Structure 1
């Protein structure tokens, strides 16, 4: 089995977009945030996602249909000769439907270009401006109505399709928010408006009481799907129902109380069937109908954690037998040896290998040889304690580390293992059976030992002594 990890930043970008949208929703749900503040928040988040130096967020006036630049970056590029007055937006609306700036509004589609001067809609730059390096624009559309535009320029790198998808997703969320904020203030503060913003989020979201059990006041459909319950059943339950580590949740609540939010918290949730999933959690203080609440966004990272576990196993587990590999045996052996010295406890080691195993491979083939190794690992595992450390040392050679066991006790275990291996029968394809034997070398920690390798060396020497004496036997160092 071979698993190759490919460098891919898609999951990182998805997590970043998840956090950015959550922060955006958290910032603009508060009715005290003005429209201009909201526009600036959207622009800042869009520039952050795309690493853009310039940009603007605009709106369309309902009555005049004029295109209004509500907020605009103020920095200048080197070589720009426009005076400061240009950056002060004029009072009232001005139209920017023409040229590259308004192209996405005219065609009602998002686009980007890394060569603006060659774009069909380009009409050149106003006097004093330096040329654009790149440009990205997303129209803000709710239903059939154009509400405005997010435009970005001069990223430190070229724009990509991923950038366009992220700003489009940001624009979709912003469109809902902007539409609702443009309604009457009473409607804007209604429960339905709040729920709609949570419901359209592209990831699971919860609104909970700001308390230890965190009773769920509202959860969107994606959250209900994550926990395998209906939305009706989700509301009124508690976060504690889906998280088994109360101390972990208490720690998150303490961080929220101290900092106002908790960012990128990895934790396990359990659905109603008891199946675990790994999530990346973002929680921030919010107000729900005048009461203190938490707004929680959840990103399911189970697939990523499973891949990490697979890679961890590849680094520590022998692919054929499923027991620890040599590298892990050495790491765990060193730790047990240090513990033995520190607490003056006993520790023994067995190294054994299968007698005449090369003949098995030569006569029956490597597939049968592999089956013998797998079977040996299973036979031995069934005879050991949970704290014993058993691994494949190399080829047909195995090692066992016995914490807190003397040489005499380890010899008794070795004899039991020798007999179990000798009794085990491997049934071949023609229904005949194959049986193997093993030779064992045993050693224990002595006062003069300074490294774990010294114990292994003595066990290895004892193994070769057992083989020299006729095989299928044990020998103590």
Structure 2
């Protein structure tokens, strides 16, 4: 559609330009130059007639004396010979009948002839319209050219001398009517040719204006079609805009409803998380910004979002290395479950903390939740203590003694520190149970365990390893200090009241075997065996005494194997 409009507009512009060019060419000032030229020629011929109307004074009465005139060419128009004859007769009659005494002025005659020459023989520089009717009428142009030649001969004769003026005047009088008739005929032909030329141009212009009208009409029709199409598109756009507005209103309504639902869901989720027995917090992974934290979590860390706006995950833990390890595992695996830790803050309770790496609003965040396991840890510690403690004496049991003692022996052997072992046995314990009952025997065991804790150091490992047998592992203790400690134990127990019986206070004694850890890779079992041998010796020697086991000899060094050659 737009290409058609442009094509019609260009065609209409070209046709309009060409028409205006033709109109401008027809409106040139020299368009009717030939007609104006012929009118001036008629006027000048009238003036020439008036100039030569009276004969020269010298011609009256002296005609016989005048020389014979030179033959002058006469105009013989193709129209009528009788007209020329009648004109010559009338001219001669008027000449012969004129009896005026005044003569024709030669200068005036020469002037009239010169003007006619300028009209009939224009100079080369005079502008000419190539589209003028005179150019397109060769016969008329030829007659006017012959007339110009005749007038030019007369003018040349007058330029030669004024003596030829009477004869020239006579010839002019003889030819003036014919000249006038030729000028009238040329003017009539010019009028007819100009009318035909104007009619042809008018018809051509009418055809061109009709073409221009068709082009403009087509342009108008196309523009009307475009306006109709634009109007239809505008109506369509208006309907689309209305439909789009309706869709926007529906979308806004849905967005508002969805936003309200999200807000309500968020509020409900916050209420659920606040009422949850777990402690929940949502922290930014990069900046530690608190997105959400429930009341339980605030109570756990002893602060709130108003007091602190940023809280890094690793800062939650009381032990910084544990916090760093927890954060690295979360970044590596995206989730950490049931890590037992203590949070920094007023509370020193144990919690089981879990975390999930999630995306929130285009950024990573840490979803942290935990719950209190202090009671669980206390029960676990109690169970662990029960599993490692003798229920009757309150000392470590045999299993705990071997676990802890093995580590202590390994450490002492690695760093070459002295260590000694005491093995104790209650003398005649079966007799006490038989005579005073098991309750009294239990009281004796508890009393001896109390005395062991009193006499020995806190760093010493004391355990009940059998019914009436006890072991004490003394780190950083040589053989002689260990013997002295054992002797103090024997004396304290001998003097102590172990149990109250109906017969009175019950005293008792113990036997002790002492052994020192050697540097040759001795194990705890070997050390206990060495101490047990010393204890057996103490009992054999009469009980209520301390026997020190001599240091074990170094094991023999076997020579290196001799390589056997094949």
Give the equivalent residue in structure 1 for 2:349: 276
1:420 aligned partner: 492
User: Which residue is equivalent to 2:335?
Assistant: 261
Classify 1:241/1:335 alpha carbon distance in 2 versus 1 (closer, same or farther; 3 Å). closer
**Is residue 188 of structure 1 aligned with residue 247 of structure 2?**
no
> For 1:88-108, what per-residue CA distance to the aligned partner results, in whole angstroms no more than 9, with x for missing partners?
xxxxxxxxxxxxxxxxxxxxx
What is the match of residue 329 of structure 1? 401
User: Equivalent residue for 1:119?
Assistant: none
Partner of 1:384: 456
Matched residue, 1:320? 392
What does 1:440-459 correspond to in 2, within 5 Å? 440-446=512-518, 450-459=522-531
Name the TM-score, length of structure 2 as normaliser.
0.45
- Measured against aligned partners, the alpha-carbon deviations of 1:57-76 in whole angstroms (never above 9, x if no partner) come to xxxxxxxxxxxxxxxxxxxx
State the Cα deviation string for residues 283-336 of structure 1 (Å, max 9, x = none).
124567887643211133344434433333333221211211112222333333
Q: Give SS of 2:542's match.
A: coil
The residue aligned with 2:8 is none
- CA positional deviation for 1:395: 0.8
Mapping for residues 367-406 of structure 1, pairs under 5 Å: 367-406=439-478
Q: For residues 518 and 367 of structure 2, what CA distance do their matches in structure 1 show?
A: 60
Change (3 A) 1:458 1:209: same
Q: Following the alignment from structure 1 to structure 2, what is the Cα–Cα distance between the partners of residues 431 and 270?
A: 59
1:461 corresponds to which of 522, 533, 544 = 533
Aligned length: 293
Q: Pick closer, same or farther for the CA change 1:211–1:405 going to 2, 3 Å.
A: farther
Cα distance in 2 between the residues matched to 1:430 and 1:228: 59
Instruction: State how far apart, in whole Å, the 1-side matches of 2:258 and 2:268 are.
Output: 11
Q: Does the 8 Å contact 1:224/1:234 carry over to 2?
A: no
* Residue pair 2:314, 2:326 contacting (<8 A) in 1 also: no
Matched position secondary structure for 1:428: strand
Q: Which residue of 2 is the match for residue 342 of structure 1? A: 414
Deviation at 1:392, TM superposition (A): 0.6
CA gap 1:294/1:449 in 2 versus in 1, 3 angstroms: closer
Aligned to 2:432: 360
Are the counterparts in 2 of residues 355 and 472 from structure 1 also a CA contact under 8 Å? yes
SS of alignment partner, residue 458 of structure 2: coil
Alignment of 1:35-114 (within 5 A): none
Shift of 1:217: 5.6
Structure 2: runs of 5 or more not aligned: 1-254, 550-566
Aligned in 2, Cα 1:276/1:300: closer, same or farther, shift over 3 Å? closer
Query: Partner residue of 1:198?
Result: 273
Is 1:220 aligned to 2:291, yes or no? no
Counterpart-to-counterpart distance in 1, 2:477 and 2:409? 12
Q: Conserved in 2, the CA contact under 8 Å of 1:217 and 1:235?
A: no
Q: For the structure 1 residues 429 and 364, does the alpha-carbon distance in structure 2 shift closer, same or farther, using more than 3 Å as the test? A: closer
Q: What is the 5 A alignment of 1:222-261?
A: 222-223=296-297, 227=300, 243-261=317-335
Cα offset for 1:344?
3.0
Shift of 1:384: 2.5
What TM-score do the two structures reach when normalised by structure 1? 0.53
Contact 2:419 2:516 in 1 (8 A): yes
Higher helix share: 2
Task: Sort the Cα spacing of 1:285 and 1:349 in 2 relative to 1 into closer, same or farther, 3 A.
Answer: same
Q: Distance in 2 between matches of 1:375 and 1:209?
A: 60
Change (3 A) 1:261 1:435: same
How far apart, CA to CA, are the structure 2 residues paired with 1:183 and 1:415? 88
- 1:27 aligned partner: none
- Residue aligning to 2:97: none
In structure 2, the CA distance between the partners of 1:275 and 1:338, relative to structure 1 (3 Å rule), is: closer
**Residue 290 and residue 338 in structure 1: after superposition, are their counterparts in 2 closer, same or farther (change >3 A)?**
closer
The corresponding residue for 2:172 is none
- Tell me the equivalent position of 2:367: 295
Change in CA separation of 1:330 and 1:200 when aligned onto 2, cut-off 3 Å: closer
1:450 deviates by 4.2
- Structure 1 pair 257–327 and aligned structure 2 pair: CA distance change class (3 A): closer
The Cα of 1:424 is off from its aligned counterpart by 2.8
Q: Which has the larger radius of gyration?
A: 2
8 Å contact kept, 1:285–1:295: yes
Matches of 2:541 and 2:493 in 1, distance apart? 19
Decide whether the 8 Å contact of 1:352 with 1:399 is kept in 2: yes
Report the CA distance shift for 1:290/1:348 in structure 2 as closer, same or farther (over 3 A): same
Which residue is 1:154 aligned to? none
Question: Alpha-carbon deviation of 1:349?
Answer: 0.9
SS in 1 for 2:394: coil
Q: Could you tell me how far 1:196 is from its partner in structure 2?
A: 3.2
